[in-house]
Amino acid sequence: MIDYNERIPNNVNLSENKVLQRALEQWQPSFLQWWKEMGPDDSGNFDVYLRTAISVDPSGWAHFDHVKMPDYRWGIFLTPSEADKKITFGDHKGEDVWQEVPGEYRSTLRRIIVTQGDTEPASVEQQRHLGLTAPSLYDLRNLFQVNVEEGRHLWAMVYLLHAYFGRDGREEGEALLERRSGDADNPRILTAFNEKTPDWLSFFMFTFMTDRDGKFQLASLAESAFEPLSRTCKFMLTEEAHHLFVGESGIARAIQRTCEVMNQLKTDDPARLRAAGVIDLPTLQKYVNFHFSVTSDLYGSEISSNAATYYTTGLKGRFEESKLSDDHKLDGDSYEVMDIAGDKIITQSVAALSTLNERLRDDWVADVQAGVDRWNRVPEKLGVPFRFKLPHKGFHRKIGLFADLCVSPDGQILAPAEWARRQTDWLPTAEDRLYVHSLMGRCVEPGKYANWIAAPARGINNQAADFEYVRFN
């Protein structure tokens, strides 16, 4: 059970480890200061209908209430440990899981935790101005829920750093509050987390695509031989599911609204749809292309010796490792990856151990595709012939095999001049972005929605359509 009488709510018996408790209590005011400076704009006094974890049980862990965000009970929650748990993959397969960090893996594991931890506050920073242009109270509440939970994910990683990495860990905990998304001198670690999230369409695409990268990273860390990391990530995954829902349903509602107006006006002319204040489907497709390609880069190079090492040493498994039926060592196994032969993209078999980044990316792509298929039911149901399509994996990439190539959404390698001529058909142009920005007015009357987005099918925690999710005071 989670103890909310503690200054730092937790289910790890923090009060029994005074040194650790004191270190985290010293970090807490710095975190709150960071939230004040970099959390959602001017939101300190809002009462927000938030869910808070009351247990780590998969069934019924959430409690809903109006809370001021600075009073949100950020804490440390791990899923229960399993008795007699063994390592399920790599060279240590079959040995007991680790309760402490083996010395030889210390710096690698710390780097993995810091890199994951850095994305959590980064996304809060990226999203901090969105509250000013919320399309509804419902959406505003969802944004804030995502933000407080990303803050809690930072807590989760800082707990591991403090508890298992000594002074180095405490220093990393400080640095996590010092880097800033997009800062020229001290940026966040990963490129995608230094991009702007300038509007709600980008926010929904980000939570659909990029939080889903989070899901796959956390899922492979949940397989880790280092049990505290595994248990931490398992609980984070339960929170992540809501972030993915926010993104997927947000885009689905924008598609629905556009299709409704297309039917009313009996047109698919983007100019007429824009005049009617909705986002035409080709523009939505361009945002899909952009966020899909930028997020793809987060998985790193197709061939990676680091990824192989993480696996053989037991630090990071595959997605759903325990459910896969092979030897969980991958000696002699192969995996198909893309390669370039002249001006063609081909596939070839490569030693599976070296392709684990690509494999995780492929697992993510399949999950994204399933979401896109669900989106496509919206136009299908409304009799609109348009269907969304993911671009080729090589499209608009900055990292790995395709980094120096120009690849069209259907997988043709293009000359740079042709790419330059056609890319405005495939990626949002400055004009597209300006149009989308122009729609972002603030709509916060209970039960009302901005013109470009449909109301959700049901309220959060089954609340009524006009429920006051946020009170501004």
Measured CA angle at 133 (ends 129, 134), to 5 deg: 105
User: What does DSSP say about strands 344-351 and 406-407: parallel, antiparallel, or unpaired?
Assistant: unpaired
Residue 190 CB, nearest approach to Fe ion (Å): 13
Query: Would you say 307 and 300 are in contact if contact means Cβ atoms under 8 Å apart?
Result: yes
**Which C-beta is closer to Fe ion: that of 246 or that of 378?**
246
Q: Is 153 in the site for Fe ion (CB under 5 A)?
A: yes
- Judged by CB under 5 A, the stretch of 113-121, 271-279, 344-352, 368-376 that binds Fe ion is 113-121
Residue 150 CB, nearest approach to Fe ion (Å): 5
**Which C-beta is closer to Fe ion: that of 117 or that of 300?**
117
Residue 123 CB, nearest approach to Fe ion (Å): 7
Residue 364 CB, nearest approach to Fe ion (Å): 14
DSSP 188-228: -SSGGGGS---SHHHHHHHHHHHHHHHHHHHHHHTT-SBHH
**Which C-beta is closer to Fe ion: that of 35 or that of 426?**
35
Query: Would you say 390 and 239 are in contact if contact means Cβ atoms under 8 Å apart?
Result: no
Q: Is 257 in the site for Fe ion (CB under 5 A)?
A: no
d(CA 458, CA 455): 8
CA 334 to chain centre: 29
**Which C-beta is closer to Fe ion: that of 123 or that of 357?**
123
Q: What is the x/- site pattern for Fe ion, positions 378-417, by CB under 5 A?
A: ----------------------------------------
**Which C-beta is closer to Fe ion: that of 240 or that of 321?**
240
Give helix then strand counts, H and E, for the chain.
12, 7
Residue 207 CB, nearest approach to Fe ion (Å): 7
**Which C-beta is closer to Fe ion: that of 108 or that of 238?**
238
Q: What is the x/- site pattern for Fe ion, positions 215-254, by CB under 5 A?
A: -------------------------x--x-----------
Helix H or strand E encompassing 264: helix 227-265
Sequence-distant (≥ 6) Cβ neighbours of residue 2 within 8 angstroms:
9, 10, 11, 53, 54, 55, 56, 75, 77
Residue 279 CB, nearest approach to Fe ion (Å): 24
Sequence-distant (≥ 6) Cβ neighbours of residue 371 within 8 angstroms:
208, 212, 244, 248
Q: Is 211 in the site for Fe ion (CB under 5 A)?
A: yes
d(CA 328, CA 431): 49
**Which C-beta is closer to Fe ion: that of 218 or that of 353?**
218
DSSP letter (8 states) at residue 302: S
Residue count, binding to Fe ion (CB under 5 A): 7
Residue 360 CB, nearest approach to Fe ion (Å): 17
- Judged by CB under 5 A, the stretch of 112-120, 195-203, 312-320, 331-339 that binds Fe ion is 112-120
Residue 236 CB, nearest approach to Fe ion (Å): 6
**Which C-beta is closer to Fe ion: that of 116 or that of 293?**
116
d(CA 332, CA 329): 9
Residue 363 CB, nearest approach to Fe ion (Å): 17
Residue 414 CB, nearest approach to Fe ion (Å): 34
* Window 159 to 198, contacts with Fe ion (CB under 5 A): none
* Window 117 to 136, contacts with Fe ion (CB under 5 A): 120
What are the distances in angstroms from CA 375 to CA 259, 272, 288? 12, 23, 12
**Which C-beta is closer to Fe ion: that of 88 or that of 142?**
142
For residue 95, the SS3 value is coil
Instruction: Find where tokens 């490569």 sit.
Output: 350
Q: What is the x/- site pattern for Fe ion, positions 31-70, by CB under 5 A?
A: ----------------------------------------
Query: Would you say 453 and 134 are in contact if contact means Cβ atoms under 8 Å apart?
Result: no
**Which C-beta is closer to Fe ion: that of 214 or that of 400?**
214
What are the distances in angstroms from CA 49 to CA 39, 52, 65, 135, 373? 17, 10, 5, 17, 31
- Binding residues vs Fe ion (CB under 5 A): 120, 150, 153, 211, 214, 240, 243
